[in-house]
Structure 1
Amino acid sequence: MTTSDADDAAPELYDSLDGQVALVTGANRGLGAEIARQLRDLGATVYAGSRQMDNETPDGTERVLLDVTQEGDVEAAVDGIFDEVGRLDVLVNNAGIIGPDGDIVAAPTAELDRTLAVNLRGPMLLCKHAVPLLLQHDGGRVVNLSSGMGALREGQSGGSPGYRISKTGLNGLTAYLEGEYSDDGLIANSVCPGWVRTDMGGDGASKSVEDGAATPVWLCRFRPGAPSGQFWRNRQPIDW
């Protein structure tokens, strides 16, 4: 589906996610916690991933140990969901870090590696293990939390090389999922939530956490046949 087609389409949405199951990574704070909370309120059974089991996750969600850099955690989380409820309808790849500031010359290699591991390799591992479950029912959704800082048409100056490049790569993952699995019914989209008042965004950011979560949650409500393989902001497709 082209960007213009997606722009013209009025996506059909689930009013309720009752009976559906969602996994949200990095769900112990910020955007991840708010997305998990809103999906819970829509009736979904929500597995809230956190790197440490003593981290708080939203009430009414199922806390799951999930460090996205550890394939053992990823495999155990997905297998555990299958064992407990037998299905997965929505995967939200939210976990992310900003990584080193400055330019790529000054950035410590270990910090670049860590940023790519969390922001890009992690979502790839989640998809590797979760896609078979998502394909069991037509219209399984993957929502990748990306950023305009990774858009190729945007100016790429201003530091944060690991973050920018990892988000460009995350958009590439979305395009791959669309190309590889759309005929099987998978719906994959990237989303820029905007500048949000989280630990990463800071107190001066222009959007509340609730507003930042609105478009990701909207994408989670897409019914089979809804737009896929796109990059969204404020419920509108934007340029890669």
Structure 2
Amino acid sequence: MDVPLYDSLDGQVALVTGATRGIGKAIADGLVARDATVYAGARDPDDITASDRRAVELDVTDDGGIAAAIETIDAEAGRLDVLVNNAGVMDSREPLDSMPTEVVDRTLDTNLRGPMLVTKHALPLLLDRPGGRVVNVSSGLGAITEPQSGGTPAYRVSKTGVNGLTRYLDGEYESEGLLANSVCPGYVRTDMTGPSASRSPEKGAETPVWLSRFRPDAPGGRFWRDKSPASW
């Protein structure tokens, strides 16, 4: 799809949650390659070893810690142009009638409440200038246009909720210049999926990085896969 893109993100600031490994690290790598100043969110900042990005302590289940991370970015960089809500966990894959309640709570807390709270605290900076971007890493498993069977209920519902968050942000803040989009990275080899997955983290990161390059007149409020619109 032909959309207006920044060739370079020089002078722009991005925050990627869950940036220590897998898709999150690959997204951070891609944004660094486009010359963005990248804050790599991690529960333990010592896990961020690359010198071309700034480690920031960020546990998406800790509201106070989220606020502190955004305050750090504001104090150091004075702006935030891109937020990539990537941090997530997989549930224990049983059907709902077998899944322990603590697994449901942990999954929703990380995958849905987390992006909502990070976005909540980041919005003042993202709305400082037209074209702030929120990229929510979702999944085709959360699509409501097809049956959601095959277990993983907490994960599926959390990603359906992430898509709802994207639609809300577009409806509420699009008039203030915010671009919010969801993305399915595909079946990517990560700690959550294992080595049998068909895609590399770098392939999974391609569309999130592309969405992070959207100019202010690019489309928002959509669900994407492989740089093309996907069904909700």
2:185 aligns with 193
2:89 aligns with 97
How far did 1:13 drift? 0.2
Summarize the Cα distance change of 1:57–1:219 in structure 2 as closer, same or farther, 3 Å threshold: farther
Paired residues, number: 232
**Which deviates more from structure 2 when the two are superposed, residues 215-224 or residues 94-103?**
94-103
Kept in 1, the 8 Å contact 2:79–2:126? The answer is: yes
1:141 aligns with 133
1:204 aligns with 196
Kept in 1, the 8 Å contact 2:40–2:48? The answer is: no
How far did 1:57 drift? 4.5
Q: 1:57 & 1:147 partners in 2: Cα distance?
A: 28
2:145 aligns with 153
The answer to whether 1:13 aligns with 2:24 is: no
Q: 2:50 & 2:152 partners in 1: Cα distance?
A: 30
2:212 aligns with 220
Kept in 2, the 8 Å contact 1:195–1:207? The answer is: yes
Pairing partner for 1:69 from 61, 75, 86: 61
Kept in 1, the 8 Å contact 2:207–2:226? The answer is: yes
How far did 1:58 drift? 3.5
Q: 1:66 & 1:57 partners in 2: Cα distance?
A: 15
Q: 2:36 & 2:74 partners in 1: Cα distance?
A: 15
The answer to whether 1:122 aligns with 2:105 is: no
The answer to whether 1:107 aligns with 2:123 is: no
Q: 1:107 & 1:135 partners in 2: Cα distance?
A: 39
Summarize the Cα distance change of 1:80–1:226 in structure 2 as closer, same or farther, 3 Å threshold: same
How far did 1:200 drift? 1.4
CA RMSD of aligned residues (A): 0.9
Q: Which runs of 5+ in 2 are unaligned?
A: none
Kept in 1, the 8 Å contact 2:90–2:155? The answer is: yes
Kept in 2, the 8 Å contact 1:23–1:46? The answer is: yes
**Which deviates more from structure 2 when the two are superposed, residues 100-109 or residues 171-180?**
100-109
Q: 2:49 & 2:189 partners in 1: Cα distance?
A: 18
TM-score by length of 1: 0.95
Secondary structure of the 2:45 match is coil
Residues 131-188 of structure 1 deviation map (CA, whole Å, 9 limit, x = unaligned): 1100001100000000000000122111111100000000000000000000000000
How far did 1:189 drift? 0.1
Residues 182-232 of structure 1 deviation map (CA, whole Å, 9 limit, x = unaligned): 000000000000001111121111111111100000000000010100000
State the identity %.
61
Q: Which runs of 5+ in 1 are unaligned?
A: 1-6
Q: 1:201 & 1:226 partners in 2: Cα distance?
A: 32
Kept in 2, the 8 Å contact 1:175–1:229? The answer is: yes
Q: 1:56 & 1:86 partners in 2: Cα distance?
A: 22
Secondary structure of the 2:131 match is coil
The answer to whether 1:132 aligns with 2:124 is: yes
How far did 1:99 drift? 1.2
How far did 1:59 drift? 3.3
Amino acid at match of 2:208: P
